[in-house]
Structure 1
Amino acid sequence: MANSSIRPSRQVAVAFMAHPDDAEIFCAGTLLRLAQAGWDIHIATVTAGDCGAQTGGPEEVARIRIAEGTRAAKIAGATFHCLGEPDGRVVFDRVALQKSIDLFRQISPTLVITMPMSDYHSDHEVTGRLGRAASFVYAAPNASEVPLTEGATVPYLYYCDTIGGCDRMGVPIEPTTFVDISEQIELKSSMLACHESQREWLRSHNGIDDYINAMRSHCSERGSQCGVDAAEAFVQHRGHGHPQDDLLIDLFAPIKQLS
């Protein structure tokens, strides 16, 4: 039987994603709800998305995409961060992990949303591993030279959805948690629209023309699974040491938890 968890007194959330626009696609509605509930919100990306363009050098593309991510985060009242790892070549190593831990020490999150560890894009999978590892160890005093915030603790940890709701083998993901974002879908769409550089890239590389409508359609599909107009789906990490109660369920009922 899972142990009950003590709700943290600090309310700090971070969406720890691979690329600018990942948060807007997968969890921005939930971030908006958290912000509206008084939480301090952060959006962090492991890369600047410097490979996400058909033209322009990596520094130019990174500059554009960081600016887009910053504008999108501002809509949610969030702070944007970027670790600067190379797009398309993210690896789980000591350097990338230490950057992740140091960032978590600066933010000291009590809620982390990161990427699934089985997804179509290897950057997403490695980011999920980095997010999981940093979540577990960042509050250990010797894990970083960045000063430890009072009250830092192992946070609630959730993995976000994937494009199409399937893992890298095409197997449907079974969410543990749905968050109703029906009232946030328009603002979420506005956040995603900030990433205007991605339309031509996604059209040419991924065969996706209207990425905003694709996002809205998927949120509608997830909403139909829990009886609302639009929803975001998550899988909660309940490994040893992490909180066992479903914080998002508690905060944002009515939402559905699958058995």
Structure 2
Amino acid sequence: MSERLDFLIFGAHPDDAEIGMAGTIAKHTAAGYRVGICDLTRAEMSSNGDVETRRLEAEQAGRILGLAHRSNLALPDRGLYMSKEAVDAITEQIRRLRPRIVFAPYWQDRHPDHVACSHLVQEAVFNAKLRRYLPGSEPVTVEQTFFYFINDVIDPDLMVDVTAVYPAKTAALRAYVSQFTPAAGDNGYVATPLNQEYVERVEARDRLLGQKRLVPYAEGFVSKLPFLIDLF
């Protein structure tokens, strides 16, 4: 069994986790945390690139961010629905990697796969702790689940100052050449929201979040549970 992860981030597609929280990932791997990403699909429905290209891009982004683990469940792109097969696959990942903290996309987003991923992960986190669920693997209780933003952003419950590592986030996003290269001339790419200055929009979003606490760049997260402290 592999050494347990501190963080396990789920995304519907390769690049989802990087869009939402690559800075937070880079900051924690630099501090010695073991961080992994599990992509649910191979993004085979993407308008640009192909499965092999996306795999290589994800590997490169993972190297930039210092990931301890990256996996892909090969569930169907644009076919993520609440099913036992999907929940069980995610549950097994949680039990195998034993993360302290799980991250999933925020449950409201313009992309239906991001919404589906959020709900599937929540189901799996709950099931992972039940000793009679999938009795062939050991139960795992996740300490906390946080939700990160991809396209649509609301007011976060907490923010991480990612100013010092922001170049790593930009580099990780730029590793997805097939997704963020503008369609121009005969380069073979078709126009999508991702290649219409999307990386620049993510940067603007992170700068705007940082402004709330007067730091240059921040990434935001939501928790469904209140934070417990002893003293302020």
Same fold, judged at TM 0.5 (above) = yes
Say if 2:11 is the partner of 1:28.
no
Gaps of 5+ in 2: 184-188
Gaps of 5+ in 1: 1-9, 56-60, 166-172, 247-259
Tell me the SS of whatever aligns to 1:163: coil
Which residue of the partner structure matches residue 95 of structure 2? 105
Cα 1:146–1:245, aligned 2, differ >3 Å: closer, same or farther? farther
Which residue of the partner structure matches residue 71 of structure 1? 60
Shift of residue 40, structure 1, vs aligned partner: 0.9
Structure 1 segment 1-259 matched on structure 2, within 5 A = 12-54=6-48, 61-78=50-67, 79-144=69-134, 147-148=137-138, 152-165=140-153, 173-199=154-180, 200=182, 204-206=191-193, 208-238=195-225, 244-245=227-228
Shift of residue 164, structure 1, vs aligned partner: 4.6
Give yes or no for contact 2:16–2:150 (8 Å, CA) kept in 1: no
Cα 1:139–1:37, aligned 2, differ >3 Å: closer, same or farther? farther
> Aligned equivalents of 1:109 and 1:26: distance in 2?
19
Which residue of the partner structure matches residue 186 of structure 2? none
Give yes or no for contact 1:105–1:146 (8 Å, CA) kept in 2: no
Cα 1:76–1:48, aligned 2, differ >3 Å: closer, same or farther? same
Write out per-residue CA displacement over residues 83-133 of structure 1, whole angstroms, 9 at most, x where no aligned residue: 111112211111110110011111111111101111101100010011111
Tell me the SS of whatever aligns to 1:216: helix
Write out per-residue CA displacement over residues 30-53 of structure 1, whole angstroms, 9 at most, x where no aligned residue: 111221232111011111111112
> Aligned equivalents of 1:104 and 1:216: distance in 2?
31
Cα 1:178–1:54, aligned 2, differ >3 Å: closer, same or farther? closer
RMSD in angstroms over aligned alpha carbons? 2.2
TM-score (ref. length: structure 2) = 0.86
Write out per-residue CA displacement over residues 42-92 of structure 1, whole angstroms, 9 at most, x where no aligned residue: 01111111111247xxxxx12211221121112222111111111122111
Q: For residue 245 of structure 1, what is the amino acid of its counterpart?
A: L
Moved more, 131-140 or 113-122: 131-140
Give yes or no for contact 2:7–2:35 (8 Å, CA) kept in 1: yes
Shift of residue 142, structure 1, vs aligned partner: 2.8
Cα 1:37–1:11, aligned 2, differ >3 Å: closer, same or farther? farther
Give yes or no for contact 1:181–1:232 (8 Å, CA) kept in 2: yes
TM-score (ref. length: structure 1) = 0.78
> Aligned equivalents of 2:203 and 2:83: distance in 1?
35
> Aligned equivalents of 1:153 and 1:233: distance in 2?
24
Write out per-residue CA displacement over residues 179-212 of structure 1, whole angstroms, 9 at most, x where no aligned residue: 1000111001111111111025796132742232
Write out per-residue CA displacement over residues 228-256 of structure 1, whole angstroms, 9 at most, x where no aligned residue: 000001101218xxxx438xxxxxxxxxx
